[in-house]
Amino acid sequence: MVKYIIIFIVLFALEVVYFKVAAYFGIVDRPNQRSSHQRIVLRGGGIIFTVSLWVWSIVYAFPYPWMLASVTIAACVSFMDDIHSLPIFPRLFVQCLSLLLIFHEIGLLSWEIWWMIPVALFVSLTGTNIYNFMDGINGITGAYSLSILIPLFLLNRRIAFVEESLLVFVGLSLLVFCFFNFRSEARCFAGDVGSIGIAMILVFLVGRLMLASGDICWIVLMMVYGCDGMMTIFHRMLLHENLGEPHRKHAYQLMVNELKMKHLTVSSFYLCSQMVISLVFIYVIPDTVLSRWIYLVVVAVLMMLGYILLMKKYYHLHEEYLAVLESKGGER
């Protein structure tokens, strides 16, 4: 316990040091018409997730070198994108490379299961970018990441698919970040370096769990983000929008911007929803293939219906917002 308290203090101090650096070099997030915040905030506070991974690797003699390289490469390019926007294709290329390094670390790169690699790459790449798109309000990235990490910690006590200390170090970095971000007036935002970095770490952890258990149903641990992200993509495709353009059509954005709900209320809702879904799956659903798949499908259908009903009832408010932008000469 003393060791973890020391690690928390070290990570906290490193985060504060980063704030000084970010302020000096002007690494900030300025509000625009697409933003859900109204003042300039330091960007890139989520770098602490990758830093915690390095601290853990140094303390425990680099047990997962390929995963460390993967997260570091993805985080570095994402940090560059935070400072100065990069073209989408180089970023996607680096993310694919990073995911392949993770697949190598968990033992997925094998000729015996070659057909799984492109499927896993597509799902992981999509999930990673959804994780990045969902980083739009105070508290949501840190809170939702904890809602995944806590069930993983509980499962690791049962299945032992990864070093427990790794889960603790990453959890401590999330607590440090939440201290500065899970508040009405955030001190910092995660930035792409944070959202992409923690997404890569979670892909590694969930991938280890799936391979150790032989069960892909553990994707349920990311169900809330997954459904929100995929439904938003389908919605935008129906509207013939460019998926690479920024927008405010996620369910959480509608709640905050159009329904005027508090950031922390919405972030807590996402955290609690995912925690309930995961804990019911772990402790209530019978340990049979049929039961687990039925639960997975039922939860996905209910969440998609929830998204559709929310948009059906309140999307007109967003259309009114877009009309105001057009009247002012703003871009859709």
* Adjacent-strand bridge partners of 28: 42
- C-alpha to C-alpha distance for 322 and 248, rounded to whole angstroms: 10
In the chain, % of residues over pLDDT 70: 96
Asked whether 249 and 136 are in contact (CB, 8 A), the reply is no
Q: What is the pTM of this model?
A: 0.93
pLDDT tens-digit series, residues 166-214? 999 999 999 999 999 999 999 999 999 999 999 999 999 999 999 999 9
How many residues does the structure list for the chain? 332
pLDDT tens-digit series, residues 71-128? 999 999 999 999 998 999 999 999 999 999 999 999 998 878 788 899 999 999 999 9
Determine the residue type at 188. Answer: C
| Those residues with Cβ within 8 angstroms of residue 155's Cβ, 6 or more apart along the chain or in another chain | 161, 209, 282
Domain extent listing, the chain: 2-327
Mean pLDDT of 248-253: 91
**DSSP calls for 266-324:** HHHHHHHHHHHHHHHHHHTS-SSHHHHHHHHHHHHHHHHHHHHHHHHHHHHHHHHHHHH
pLDDT tens-digit series, residues 255-290? 999 999 999 999 999 999 999 999 999 999 999 999
